[in-house]
Every structure is written in structure tokens, then in C-alpha cells.
């Protein structure tokens, strides 16, 4: 029986399967543990189940001598130092595929919400400003037959493209390696939707050149990772009217402080990283995260391993 440290309670009942097989300690607070709290809680752990809010860097990994497996409750692993884990022969699991549809659905919801001005329209009603119907009141823009540039043509980007077929959209796709030609591609788009993983190559992939290249009537949507979009450049783009608006599920920094200047920018919709936030999706993520940890602690290969090179090194 191994000791496992889990950094938050998970939806569903799958943590019970982990408790049946191993000694499990769950971080009791609703907030994420700090770096020191994570180091203390996982000090003698062999298994670590983390969320994207925890930074599992080389320094932390070096202070956990018994650690044999890391399972990340996310499709991304940018919060984990994969190279440091691989050097120790520690497999790192993630939860791909199961959150594809939920995130793709949210991307479309954000496109429609920002372009059709749903939040300002709802505020008009709640604030008692709903007057007589007028031909030019709350005009937005169409998603139907729009040109949509998808940045990142992987599972989620492809799922968004399939949904947009129902809107008769023209789809343009840029891969994570297409950074040099990105400004030319987004210049054609009415919507730019970001779906690439966060890597050093994609950090601030959407910056001032790309935002300036976009149409003044175009919208930016990001459901991937906040640092893929340069925050200061986006704020300026909204304030100065380089683009028509933006809808974000992710930000940099994250969480975005309530007094952050970006939130004062016009035509901006921000939601708190809810791309995978459906009951079915989060429960499926919990199941996969537990499966990954159980397999690794049993000496088996993780079903979803983000660093398969870890198995090529001695544990």
C-alpha cells in the first residue's frame, strides 16, 4: 500500500477506488495548496494527484524522494516539469479526450455570447433599461457563414471545426508550428479561436502583430491557456479598437484579479476556466486520473502518460 497525496477533492466517487488500494490524504481546503504546503503534504508520498493549479517543478520533485507517479487532473501538463519527472523515471499522467467536447461546446458558446452581445443585453434587462424595440438596438455580428481561424488543430480544435460546419463557416487552421504565418491567417478571420497547448513555442503566440493584423470587426476566443495570448497587447487591442471583442475562459495571470486593468477593457467577456466544467466531463477526468495513478503504483504503464520517455529510464 502506497501513500498518495491528492491536492483537492474530486467530483464523483473515483477517489474511493484509490482509497481502497492505498493510503490517501486529500488537501482539505477549497483553495490550492501553496508550494510549501504541497511540499509538506507530499513529503513521503509515492503517488501525487494534482490539478492544473499546482506547480510541480524540478525543485518540488527533487524534494520528494519516494515519489513514483504523478497524475495531473487536466489535459495539459504545463504545470508539471516533464523533463525533471522523466529524469527520475516518474511517469506523468493526464486526462485527454474526455474534455474535448465540453471545451469545444464552450468555445462556440463564447463566440456566440461575445458576438451577439449576450452579457450586455442581459444587463440591460436587469438594470431596467429595456426600452421599446428599435432597429439598431444591441446589434451584434453573425457566426453563421463567418470565417473562423482555429489556432491549434488538435482534438479540441478539430471538434470546434466540426461544430462550425453546422454554421456554414469557412475554417482556417494554424498548427502550433505555424507561428510565422499566423498574422496573415488571422487577417482573414471573423473569429480567432485558440486551442493549442501551452509550450515555450506557443507562449504569447497571439501578440501585438497578430492582434493588429485581425479585422477591426473580428473576435478573439481563448479556451486553451492564458499565456498563449499576450495580456497587455490584448488589453490595448480592446481599448484602441484593433478588434471588436474577446471572450476568454483562461487568462494570464489566472485567476485574474478583480482589479486587473484587462477587466476594464471594453467588449470583453471572461469566465473562470470552465471549459471542462460539466458533471460528466469532470467525473470522467477523475476516473482517468485515478486510473493513471493506480496503474503506475501497481508497476503498470499509465493508460494516459504524457512523458513515455520516463519508462525508458530506471525508476
Q: Which residues are catalytic?
A: 225, 254, 273
Q: Is 258 exposed, middle or buried (0-12, 13-18, 19+ CB in 10 A)?
A: exposed
Question: Phi and psi at residue 264, in whole multiples of 5°?
Answer: -90, -5
Dihedral sign from CA coordinates of 274, 229, 195, 32: negative
Among 165, 262, 172, residue whose Cα is nearest residue 213? 172
The distance between the two most distant Cα atoms of the chain, rounded to a whole number of Å, is: 73
What single-letter DSSP state applies at residue 147?
E
Cα distance between the two ends of the chain: 18
CA dist 179 → 128, 198, 203, 206, 243 (Å): 46, 13, 11, 9, 20
Q: Helices 279-297 and 14-21 sit at what angle, rounded to 10 degrees?
A: 20
Alpha-carbon Rg for the chain, nearest whole angstrom, is 21
3-state SS track over 5-19: EECCCCCCCHHHHHH
Could you tell me if 25 and 3 are in contact, meaning their C-beta atoms sit under 8 angstroms apart? Answer: yes
Amino acid at each position: 500500500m502506497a501513500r498518495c497525496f491528492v491536492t483537492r477533492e474530486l467530483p464523483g466517487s473515483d477517489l474511493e477506488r484509490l482509497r481502497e488500494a492505498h493510503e490517501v490524504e486529500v488537501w482539505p481546503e477549497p483553495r490550492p495548496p501553496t508550494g510549501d504546503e504541497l511540499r509538506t503534504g507530499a513529503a513521503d508520498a509515492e503517488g501525487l494527484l494534482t490539478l492544473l493549479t499546482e506547480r510541480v517543478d524540478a525543485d518540488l520533485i527533487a524534494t520528494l524522494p519516494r515519489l513514483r507517479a504523478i497524475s495531473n487532473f487536466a489535459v495539459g501538463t504545463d504545470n508539471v516539469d516533464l523533463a525533471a519527472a522523466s529524469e527520475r523515471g516518474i511517469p506523468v499522467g493526464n486526462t485527454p479526450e474526455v474534455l474535448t467536447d465540453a471545451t469545444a461546446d464552450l468555445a462556440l458558446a463564447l463566440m456566440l455570447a461575445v458576438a451577439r452581445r449576450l452579457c450586455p443585453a442581459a444587463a440591460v434587462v436587469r438594470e431596467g433599461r429595456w426600452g421599446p424595440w428599435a432597429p439598431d438596438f444591441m446589434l451584434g455580428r453573425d457566426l453563421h457563414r463567418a470565417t473562423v481561424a482555429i489556432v491549434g488543430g488538435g482534438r479540441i480544435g478539430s471538434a470546434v471545426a466540426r461544430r462550425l460546419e453546422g454554421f456554414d463557416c469557412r475554417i482556417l487552421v494554424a498548427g502550433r508550428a505555424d507561428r510565422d504565418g499566423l498574422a496573415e491567417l488571422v487577417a482573414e478571420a471573423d473569429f480567432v479561436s485558440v486551442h493549442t497547448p501551452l509550450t515555450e513555442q506557443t507562449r504569447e503566440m497571439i501578440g501585438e502583430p497578430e492582434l493588429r493584423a485581425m479585422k477591426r470587426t473580428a473576435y478573439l476566443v481563448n479556451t486553451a491557456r492564458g499565456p498563449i495570448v499576450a495580456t497587455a497587447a490584448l488589453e490595448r487591442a480592446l481599448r484602441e479598437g484593433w478588434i471588436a471583442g474577446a471572450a476568454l475562459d483562461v487568462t494570464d495571470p489566472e485567476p485574474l484579479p478583480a482589479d486587473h486593468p484587462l477587466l476594464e477593457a471594453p467588449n470583453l467577456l471572461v469566465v473562470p476556466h470552465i471549459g471542462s466544467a460539466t458533471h460528466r466531463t469532470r467525473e470522467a477526468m477523475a476516473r482517468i486520473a485515478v486510473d493513471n495513478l493506480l496503474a503506475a503504483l501497481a508497476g503498470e504503464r499509465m493508460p494516459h502518460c504524457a512523458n513515455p520517455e520516463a519508462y525508458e529510464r530506471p525508476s
